[in-house]
């Protein structure tokens, strides 16, 4: 089992972010204002120093009216934060591009990408950020399901349910059966 906390800690250390700063950026980028305010009210609010550090590093833009105002609503997450997770966003774009817009079974006419694309891309990026093997598994599983014309879930549901896991198990069992069959035919079993 992968130690996700260690992965998050490594990410924070690599980019010199406090947990507080990262949570702030993450919730701002995902437009989770209610969760952000709940977090800031029930835990420790970001200090002026933490906010100034983010601003100096180009990760946020302070749109507050006064230099002494620190309202969370008036901060904009800059492209600097996107650059931190840029490789993961590229993976998210690759996944989005491959995912079909309509079910491949031809039976239903629902839209499979009827979600906010930017929010989905960040959600996917944060998913694969924890384990770089997830993207490879997800892409392999998606290609397999596209080949079988079995993609019929909305894109966000597919990722939330971690559909690549069950598909990878199916692929493994097919490979194992093929290997066993080949050994049987070759007289090794």
Per-residue pLDDT reduced to its tens digit, 89-148: 889 999 999 999 998 877 778 899 999 998 899 889 888 887 779 999 999 999 999 999
Q: What is the mean pLDDT of the chain?
A: 85
Instruction: Give me the pLDDT at residue 155, please.
Output: 97
Distances (CA, A) of 99 to 17, 54, 71, 143, 179: 33, 35, 38, 9, 30
Confidence of residue 189 (pLDDT cuts 50, 70, 90): low
Q: Residues 84, 109: contact at Cβ < 8 Å?
A: no
How is the chain split into domains, by residue range? 4-78, 85-185
Token readout for 123 is: 């959600």
| Statement: residue 160 has pLDDT above 90 | yes
What stretch of H or E contains 60?
A: strand 60-62
Q: Residues 39, 72: contact at Cβ < 8 Å?
A: no
pTM: 0.61
Higher pLDDT, 139 or 74: 139
Instruction: Give me the pLDDT at residue 1, please.
Output: 38
Instruction: Give me the pLDDT at residue 14, please.
Output: 83
Higher pLDDT, 32 or 167: 167
Confidence of residue 161 (pLDDT cuts 50, 70, 90): very high
> Residue ranges of the alpha helices (H) in 66-162?
79-84, 86-98, 117-129, 133-147, 155-160
């Amino acid at each position: 089992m992968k130690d996700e906390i260690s992965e998050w800690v490594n990410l924070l250390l690599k980019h010199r972010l406090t947990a507080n700063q990262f949570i702030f950026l993450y919730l701002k980028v995902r437009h989770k204002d209610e969760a952000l305010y709940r977090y800031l009210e029930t835990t420790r609010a970001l200090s002026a120093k933490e906010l100034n550090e983010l601003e100096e590093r180009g990760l946020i833009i302070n749109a507050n009216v006064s230099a002494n105002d620190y309202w969370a609503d008036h901060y904009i997450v800059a492209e600097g934060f996107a650059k931190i997770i840029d490789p993961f966003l590229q993976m998210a774009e690759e996944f989005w591009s491959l995912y079909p817009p309509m079910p491949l079974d031809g039976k239903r006419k629902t839209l499979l990408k009827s979600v906010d694309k930017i929010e989905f891309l960040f959600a996917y990026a944060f998913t694969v950020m924890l384990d770089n093997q997830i993207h490879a598994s997800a892409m392999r599983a998606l290609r397999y399901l596209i080949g079988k014309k079995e993609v019929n879930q909305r894109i966000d549901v597919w990722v939330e349910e971690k559909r690549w896991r069950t598909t990878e198990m199916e692929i493994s069992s097919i490979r194992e059966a093929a290997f066993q069959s080949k050994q049987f035919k070759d007289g090794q079993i």
